[in-house]
């Protein structure tokens, strides 16, 4: 990883490492939102996955000039976001349905 360059001081390496962790922190915040508000978080994850797909495809196609490989990379990177988003939205509606069913039964 380029953050751990032996020519850099310890503090410069830590700063570079923290910069590389920013996407993970952002995803953690989105996960916390999705955990609290499933519908909103699921929507954000789904839109993020769908929105990043063309960008990831174009970047990889420019590097390897292979449609199949680029699509495979898109599936590996963005498909999990889409699946997680759909699962959060589905969970929201299933909980809503169960709450309504239990309220009507009581």
Tens of pLDDT, residues 17-33 = 999 999 999 999 999 99
In this structure, the answer to whether residues 96 and 46 fall within a common structural domain is yes
State how far Cα 80 lies from the chain centre: 7
Domain span at 61: 38-105
Q: 65: phi > 0 → left, psi -120 to 50 → alpha, else beta; which? A: left
Predicted pLDDT at 53: 96
Give the list of residues 6+ apart from residue 5 with CB closer than 8 angstroms, or none: 13, 16
Q: Which residue has the higher pLDDT, 8 or 41?
A: 41
Q: What is the pLDDT of residues 63-82, one digit of tens each?
A: 999 999 999 999 999 999 99
For range 47-59, the mean pLDDT = 96
Residue 78 CA to residue 53 CA, distance in Å, equals 6
In this structure, the answer to whether residues 23 and 48 fall within a common structural domain is no
Count of the separate structural domains present in the chain: 2
Predicted pLDDT at 1: 63
- Asked if residue 41 lies in contact with residue 33, where contact means CB atoms within 8 angstroms, the answer is yes
Torsion angle of the four alpha carbons 68, 71, 64, 78, in this order, in degrees rounded to the nearest 10: -160
In this structure, the answer to whether residues 100 and 49 fall within a common structural domain is yes
């Amino acid at each position: 990883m380029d953050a751990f360059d032996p020519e850099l001081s310890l503090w410069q390496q830590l700063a570079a490492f923290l910069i590389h962790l920013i996407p993970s922190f952002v995803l953690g915040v989105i996960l916390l939102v999705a955990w609290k508000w499933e519908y909103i978080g699921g929507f954000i994850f789904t839109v993020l996955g769908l929105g990043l797909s063309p960008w990831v495809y174009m970047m990889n196609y420019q590097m390897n000039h292979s449609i199949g490989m680029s699509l495979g990379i898109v599936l590996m990177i963005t498909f999990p976001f889409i699946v997680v988003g759909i699962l959060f939205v589905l969970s929201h509606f299933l909980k809503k349905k169960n709450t309504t069913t239990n309220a009507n039964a009581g």
